């Protein structure tokens, strides 16, 4: 039996709630699962960042423009927003909120749960090391997520999330988001969340 089979898949009501910051916190401890070409990999989410389409210059959709890249963020919550960053890295985001309200949560780090051998192979690594899934670019590579998955429903059978034991507020640390200095004062919003003391987060 797989470790996550005792859990249950998050449904669309989880993603369609209106408070993206709350959802970013709730996502800690949930398990992200991919089944690609019939092969399953899974990891527990240990670090996230919230992005709001309104009043947040760090969000790609904050100007309300629906481009080929930002389009999915305006769709109803529960879909994958994957984009290419710095020409190299595929970053995986979870779209939230109702149609027309463009919020998303970036998944920044995972603790490997299943399919470690396949993750290592995708990463070109020999041995298990924190670098396997600590960081938004590397975790997407380990899980096999790339821009072909743009717009996929997270209630479907390719990429989805499983519930898990919740993380108590005492065990969650909030801090400023990483790499968003261009956003001015919005860069100071404490919208990065991670599980305290967890060895798999992307930065200390």
**Does 110 participate in binding DNA (rule CB under 7 A)?**
no
Query: Nearer Cβ to DNA, position 2 or 198?
Result: 198
Contacts of 22 by beta carbon, 8 Å cutoff, 6+ apart: none
Backbone angles phi, psi at 145, to 5 degrees: -90, 130
Distance CA 74, CA 103 (A): 8
Q: Nearest distance from residue 85's CB to DNA, in Å?
A: 5
Number of residues this chain uses to bind DNA (CB under 7 A): 37
- Residue 51 engages DNA in binding (rule: CB under 7 A): yes
Question: Between 4 and 96, whose beta carbon lies closer to DNA?
Answer: 96
88 near DNA, judged by CB under 7 A = yes
Question: Is residue 112 involved in binding DNA (CB under 7 A)?
Answer: no
Q: Are strands 192-195 and 39-51 parallel, antiparallel or unpaired?
A: antiparallel
Q: Is 104 in the site for DNA (CB under 7 A)?
A: yes
Q: How far is the CB of 12 from DNA (least distance, A)?
A: 20
Residues belonging to the chain = 204
Cα–Cα distance, 122 to 128 (Å, whole number):
12
Q: Cα separation of 33 and 37, whole Å?
A: 13
Residue 199 makes contact with DNA by CB under 7 A: no
Stretch that binds DNA, among 31-39, 87-95, 155-163, 189-197 (CB under 7 A): 87-95
201 lines the binding site for DNA (CB under 7 A): no
What Cα–Cα distance (Å) separates residue 77 from each residue in 82, 83, 149, 202?
14, 17, 15, 26
Does residue number 63 form part of the binding site for DNA (CB under 7 A)?
Answer: yes
Determine if 139 is a binding residue for DNA (CB under 7 A). yes
| Strand, coil or helix: 70 | coil
Residue 172: strand pairing partners: 195
Binding flag, residue 202, DNA (CB under 7 A): yes
Q: Does 78 bind DNA (CB under 7 A)?
A: no
How many Cα atoms are found within 13 Å in the side-chain-facing hemisphere of 49?
26
Residues making contact with DNA (CB under 7 A): 49, 51, 58-61, 63, 65, 67-70, 81, 83-89, 91, 93, 104, 106, 123, 131, 135-139, 177-180, 182, 202
């Amino acid at each position: 039996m797989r470790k996550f089979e005792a859990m249950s898949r998050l449904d669309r009501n989880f993603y369609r709630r209106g408070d993206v910051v709350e959802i970013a916190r709730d996502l800690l401890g949930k398990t992200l699962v991919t089944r690609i070409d019939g092969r399953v990999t899974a990891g527990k989410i240990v670090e996230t960042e919230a992005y709001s389409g309104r009043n947040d210059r760090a969000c790609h959709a904050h100007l309300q423009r629906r481009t080929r890249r930002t389009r999915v963020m305006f769709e109803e919550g529960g879909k994958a927003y994957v984009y290419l960053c710095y020409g190299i890295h595929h970053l995986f985001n979870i779209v939230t909120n109702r149609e027309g309200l463009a919020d998303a949560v970036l998944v920044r780090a995972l603790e490997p749960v299943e399919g470690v051998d396949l993750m290592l192979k995708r990463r070109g690594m020999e041995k298990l090391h924190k670098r396997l899934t600590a960081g938004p670019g590397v975790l997407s590579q380990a899980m096999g997520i790339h821009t072909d998955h743009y717009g996929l429903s997270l209630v479907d059978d390719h990429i989805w999330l499983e519930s898990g034991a919740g993380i108590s507020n005492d065990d969650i640390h909030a801090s400023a988001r990483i790499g968003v200095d261009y956003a001015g004062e919005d860069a100071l919003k404490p919208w990065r969340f991670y599980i305290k003391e967890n060895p798999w987060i992307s930065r200390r």
